[in-house]
Structure formats: structure tokens, C-alpha cells
Structure 1
Amino acid sequence: MTTEMASAAPLSKIKSRIRRAMGPWGVFVEGFLKNPVMVGSIVPSSRQTIAKVLGPVDWDNTKLFVEYGPGVGTFCQPVLDRLRRDAMLIVIDTNPLFIDYLKRTITDSRFVAVNGSAADVEEIVRAHGHEKADYVLSGLPFSTLPPGVGPAIASATHRVLRKGGAFLVYQFTPRAGDFMAQFFKRIDKGLEWINVPPCFIFWGWKDEEA
């Protein structure tokens, strides 16, 4: 064993111990530091934000709920608590650290965590036995995504939603509404002040006549 390998092993153990001691907060911070462009905030959403974002969802008629950028699962359990027993929650994240954490900590049979891109949502949904999603939730920071990625995600989301479904977006700037407006004719807007920072909320509806 080389000197570098010998010194790396104890360092890795120390990092693992610190991560375990900090729990989900440690995983969240580490994921943010590794790829801040893809993480909306270093502070998880408040209970008030979660309740407001999920408020318009028709849970009785929801068979598939999709989330982009779940992080350490701030929205996952609230969604599962409301979801029908025969429904499914698919979460998609490009960060394998978050996906590994979610797979280890959420054991609900309705839950599926995928390491991938939100732009590939149609293929991911089909791979898990569905053609359409009822709702798609996103906390991805649209304003800081690489050029072209935001519109690609919004377009793919519109295609994968069933008629009558909705794209639920929470952001810290109003720019997400600009990306959504290219594909969603009806967008309801809200603002939650009890959040760090205050949160803009958008509900883009795929109307029946669209």
C-alpha cells in the first residue's frame, strides 16, 4: 500500500463519521458543496413552503408523482404521507450522493430514486411502467442551470404530464416562471415568506384543452 493510499483511508473514515454524526444536514451540505449549480439552496424548505406547494394536488387521483432534485428528501415523506397506497413517487437527481442517501433511508415500496437528468423524465417514467405523470415537483435552480437545460426540462415535463396535471415549482427568484411560460399557458403564482430565503411558487397546469 502506498503512502497516499494509507493516508487516504483514515481520512475517508473520518469523513464518513462526520457525515453520520450530522445526519441529513451533513449529506445536504456535502452535496451542495460538490455541485452548487444543481442545488437550489443550502437550507431545506420550510414546513410552510411544503404545505403551500403541495396544497393544490388532487391526491385521490394521483397515481404517479415525480420530483426533480429531491436532495435529502425534504419533500419525499410529505408526498408519501399524502400519496395513495397504490401510487408511486419517482425522484430524479444528478447527484449520486443524494440518491444513495435516499435509497438507504426511505424504505417505502412506493418510492423509487433515480440517478439521472430531469430532461430524461419521459424515458424514466416509461422505464417504471407509466406513460404519464400526474404531477411533477421541482426545486431545481432554473436561473443557474447551464444554457438550454431549463427549457429542455420544462418542455419534457409538459410532454410527460397528463392533461389536467401540473408542474409544481418552488424557487428563490421569479425567473422559473419565464421558462415555464414557454410551455404552460396557465400558471398560478404564490410566495411563501416563512422560508430561508422567501420562496416563489409556481403551479403550471396542463389544461384539458392544451
Structure 2
Amino acid sequence: MEKKQMNFNEYLLFLQGFLTNPQRVGSLIPSSRFLAAKVVESVPWDEVKTVAELGSGTGAITRCMKTQLTGSTKVLLFERDKKMRENLKAEYPDFVCHSNACQLVKKLNHDDIGQLDCIISGLSFSNFTSEMRETLLNQIMKALKPGGIFVAFQYSLQMKKRFAADLTIEKIEFVPFNFPPAFVYICRKKEVPCNGYNTCCN
């Protein structure tokens, strides 16, 4: 009964977030357990000592991710919605919670972290303005170490070309059992020098 109550509260939080800012939240309900599992199993956790999750929401992926972590893994969660962020702080007191992924590099510096081994993103890039999208991608590229892992789920293939400009897309997995169905991008940051177009040079 307690678990059902928790799930209902999470759905309610997510729905409130969507109604308040549908462009930012991007979905009516949290990620399904199938999507969360696909995202988490795509990460080689033995390589990860520092990880950031962008757009953590009610913690559907966070919960699944926690089972893969060692005690020394540093975790940063980013969630703009205040109620969802407070919920994450209460549920994951050992993780560091921040509000704005556009300040990712600043927060890493504040927390005395260099570059990240892994970034997991639930942000709906296609819903953002082009300026915000580029700001976020610029922050991601600066924060992620060369060869670092970037896993993002999207509801279309719209971002494929843009991701490929800075990242090596190793695989794209389709997850039908989610609302809406989602594509999971499994990528690594390129280790070769950037060209003028890549955001990591800007």
C-alpha cells in the first residue's frame, strides 16, 4: 500500500510539473520501468566514479541507477521543478541536488569535481528554444571528460544529427513500453580535437 501511495504521489508531482511547464517536463507521466532499465543498463558502471542526471523528475531513473552505484560514486541530480527537487532531496540524501542544468559546469566547480565520467539526460531537447538547447549541449560537452558516456532518451530522432556533431553515437535503442515511446541514445564524447562547429570549442 505504501509503494502504491508513493507511486501515486510521484505521478501527481509529475502531472503538476507538466501542467505548470509542459515544454520543460515534456511528458505527462514519469519514465516507465522499461525505459529506466534500458537507460541504466546502457552505462558501463565500472567506468563511472562521477555521474550527473539531468532532468531527474520524480527519480524513475535515479532509483534504478542507485542499485548500480558503489559507495564512492559521486552523484549530482538536476531538476528545475521545485517540488520534484525537494522530493529527490528527501529520497536521496546522499546525492547532491541542483536546480539548473544550464549551470552544470559552475556546479561541478562548486562541488570540487573536475569532469564527469557519465551524464544521463531526461531533458526534452526538442522542446527547448535553440538558444537553450545549445547552452545545455555546451555545458554537457564541457562537463563530460573525453571518452565519457552520454546517455539520453528522446521521444523522436530529431536530435540525432546534432548529437553526432560532438559525440560518437554508439547505439540508439527504441523503447516501445513507455508513454510516449522513446529512443535511448548511447554516446561517448569524442577524444579527437574539436572542429570549429563543435560546442566544446566555444
Inter-CA distance 205–126: structure 2 relative to 1 (3 Å threshold): same
> Any runs of at least 4 consecutive aligned residues in structure 1 with deviations exceeding 3 A, and if so which?
19-22, 207-210
Q: Would the aligned equivalents of 2:55 and 2:122 in 1 still touch at CA under 8 Å?
A: yes
Shift of 1:209: 3.6
Within 5 Å, which residues of 2 pair with 1:1-210? 22-107=8-93, 109=94, 111-116=95-100, 118-210=101-193
Q: Deviations over 1:70-98 (max 9, x none)?
A: 11111111111101110111111222121
**Which secondary structure state, in structure 2, belongs to the residue aligned with residue 65 of structure 1?**
strand
Q: Which of structures 1 and 2 has the bigger CA Rg?
A: 1
Paired residue type of 1:199: A
Higher alpha-carbon deviation: 85-94 or 184-193: 184-193
Q: Number of residue pairs matched?
A: 189
Unaligned runs of 5+ in 2: 194-202
| Aligned-residue identity in percent | 25
Per the TM alignment, residue 20 of structure 1 is displaced from its structure 2 partner at its CA by 8.6
Structure 1 residues not aligned, in runs of 5+: 1-18
Specify the code of the residue in structure 1 equivalent to 2:97: A
Query: How many Å separate the matches in 2 of 1:22 and 1:55?
Result: 26
TM-score (norm 2): 0.85
Give the whole-Å Cα distance in 1 for the aligned partners of 2:83 and 2:121. Answer: 18
Q: Equivalents in 1 of 2:108, 2:159: separation in Å?
A: 23
How far apart are 1:39 and its partner, in Å? 0.7
Judged with a 3 Å threshold, the aligned counterparts in structure 2 of structure 1 residues 20 and 193 are, in CA distance, closer, same or farther, namely closer
Q: Is the 8 A contact 1:40 1:139 kept in 2?
A: no
Q: TM-score normalized by structure 1?
A: 0.82
Structure 1 vs Structure 2 CA RMSD: 2.0
